[in-house]
Structure 1
């Protein structure tokens, strides 16, 4: 017999006195250290807890919430939904992760490493949410997950950026009329390539977010789509940021937004509608790549963001500047993605140390 954290009387039976005494010591220690877990709390099905966990994530962007919803429905709940929390083991989670990336003809789910990592992460977050109230520890913690292959980055040169922007601004339909985005394509591509804005952030810019006098853009929102419907939300990290505009782009932006009201979109179709990501990529961007005759494999609008980072680094920007420009959560993420672009400065540092040492040696020799 013992009292739990709520002073409720509990009892457990053991087959021997020794086991009972050992269990008594364990209970006393867990109660004193605050790690006690009610044995009945872990008997709840994971599916029930997963629904509560997802409903509690009010801070998530709708697109992220629905992504988690899909991962739960398609991968997590079919395997774990009916099991009690305390029946889930690290070994079983490891086997499940391995099956996620196994091909379907071998009894697996056929997921790529990245998608498998996302599914595992959702399961781990649900289980972690249960610690310490329902579980003493997270059984998914420490499971080895598939390593996602390094993304193949594409970096355009200044010349390629200019060729692409010019081609995009002169696109014509088969009826020899300007395409829906021809009037804004040039400035949009230049802005993406020289500021590092995400496409959705640029597409959602309002005139009042552009300060041409101080050459600044305030990034406070983005476009995203759910079920084919366009929505407006905060930037990916949830935080606003300020981005510098190269002086050469100011005249082009000024001409584009001249006479516009503050609450009008900077980039819009010929009919005054907002740009849609898939339509713009297929009908405008891909057509411009072909028209510019750029033989660059894997070139997408998002690769212009990588281009902006590479050009900034080549121009001497340090990691903190690039982090702020791109809106990364921390400098570690910036280094993970673009660290290989910073020049090797080991010899520069070593040479500077030599200069300092030589001066000290000379000073001592003259004394």
Structure 2
């Protein structure tokens, strides 16, 4: 049980005196009242200025220890910064690009909440703070007035919220707090971006505008497989299996062309066939297995800067504005769905973690199949009726034959 202790007085050593307590060596120095209780087999204490505050805290300690919600003093000082290092270390197997995104989000969190004990993080405070985030490097240190600072985008704010939520989950796992105060609805929702799907004539115009075969082949692979741009640039000759008609997605490359893991750290195979497969085979002929399958025109791995320059010229020559390379991935998904691919197939092709994620992003494209559904259902039922009638006719014929044999 907890007790309140007066630090400014002590028991009177003179047993003959009527005064039971006298001034201690701390008389008039510091806070007078302390709450003392036992944690993990040893006594700990917290000091207060007034006795009322100390009594109120003593009651909290006793209730918390009884119902199992009390946070021990050795854990009450653990901050979000203390949790950050083990949390980010646990993400070592993720791609460098993903980890860099986490670190970028942490730079928003650390100055404000890094030194805050996890047990003091409140839901309402975090929910009110997230919408106020601004892009770093604008309002301070760049000469840009604070009033002109650009608000942080929804996707970046969402990542900040996800990391705070993950750190609080870690605090629960380590017994620092008993319940995560952050709720899913407190985290900014992912705004659905307007996706562009290229038409056939736009695809043909884009391919015709390719300045060389290297650029044309890269665009074709992105259009026909739906893999991510970094995954396509990271393909090596050994990743092409003509017999199985597959491309093995085993790595990614970053903006500088450095090898990285795939976004989710997983490997997968995607189908490739037709003229594209023949073109890849011809292009890979007489080259080493470790050579890049889709290099730039100089035989080097594509860097982001080099590809951006080529892509800009291609889209301008094709007369297509407002698209980036990821438009090719979206277009590949739309073509696959229009060709009859089911959600699981599209999920595997695009490298999504779950089919639910694929439906969240591209589910509306399956809506086009709804128009054909009533007719298909009627045709199915009619086929079932014909099958049932045929079965009944066969049974009737067998009964007739048995009757004839009985008469004979």
Tell me if both proteins adopt one fold, taking TM over 0.5 as the criterion. Answer: yes
Measured on the aligned residues, the alpha-carbon RMSD in Å equals 3.6
Deviation at 1:193, TM superposition (A): 0.4
Q: Which has the larger radius of gyration?
A: 2
2:167 maps to: 126
> Would the alpha carbon gap of residues 116 and 9 (structure 1) be closer, same or farther in structure 2, given more than 3 Å must change?
same
Q: Which moved more, 1:297-306 or 1:52-61?
A: 52-61
Change (3 A) 1:116 1:22: closer
- Correspondence 1:330 to 2:354: yes
Specify which of 172, 179, 183 is matched with residue 141 of structure 1.
183
Q: What is the distance in 1 between the residues matched to 2:57 and 2:156?
A: 45
Aligned to 1:58: 92
Q: Which residue is equivalent to 1:347?
A: 374
Change (3 A) 1:361 1:275: closer
Counterpart-to-counterpart distance in 1, 2:374 and 2:70: 56
Q: In the alignment, which residue of structure 2 is the partner of 1:219?
A: 249
Q: How far apart are residue 223 of structure 1 and its match? A: 0.4
Corresponding residue for 2:111?
78
Q: 2:326 aligns with which of 302, 314, 320?
A: 302
- Answer with 152-161 or 93-102: which moved more: 93-102
Deviations 1:283-326 (A, max 9, x none): x1221122223x3x422111101111000000000000100111
User: Would the alpha carbon gap of residues 21 and 164 (structure 1) be closer, same or farther in structure 2, given more than 3 Å must change?
Assistant: closer
Between 331-340 and 343-352, the greater mean CA deviation after superposition: 343-352
| 1:247 match | 274
For residues 101-116 of structure 1, the aligned pairs below 5 Å read: 110-116=151-157
- For structure 1, which runs of at least 5 residues remain unmatched after alignment? 172-181
Counterpart position of 2:16: none
TM-score where L is the length of structure 2: 0.73
List gaps (5 residues or longer) in structure 2: 3-36, 140-145, 397-408
CA contact (8 A) 1:328 1:334 kept: yes
1:131-173 Cα offsets, whole Å, 9 max, x none, are 14111112223452333432111111233223312220xx2xx
Q: 1:36 to 1:362 in 2, by over 3 A?
A: farther
Q: Is structure 2 residue 79 aligned with structure 1 residue 45?
A: yes
Pick the aligned partner of 1:163 from 202, 205, 213: 205
User: Paired residue for 2:258?
Assistant: 231
Which residue of structure 2 aligns with residue 176 of structure 1?
A: none
Match of 1:178 in 2: none
* Cα distance in 1 for residues equivalent to 2:60 and 2:105: 42
Q: TM-score, normalised by structure 1?
A: 0.81
- Structure 2 residue 340 is the aligned partner of structure 1 residue 316: yes
**Quick one: higher RCO (CA 8 Å, sep 6+), 1 or 2?**
1
Aligned position for 2:307: 280
Inter-CA distance 5–128: structure 2 relative to 1 (3 Å threshold)? farther
* Counterpart-to-counterpart distance in 2, 1:71 and 1:125: 13
* Residue aligning to 1:187: 217
Moved more, 320-329 or 13-22: 13-22
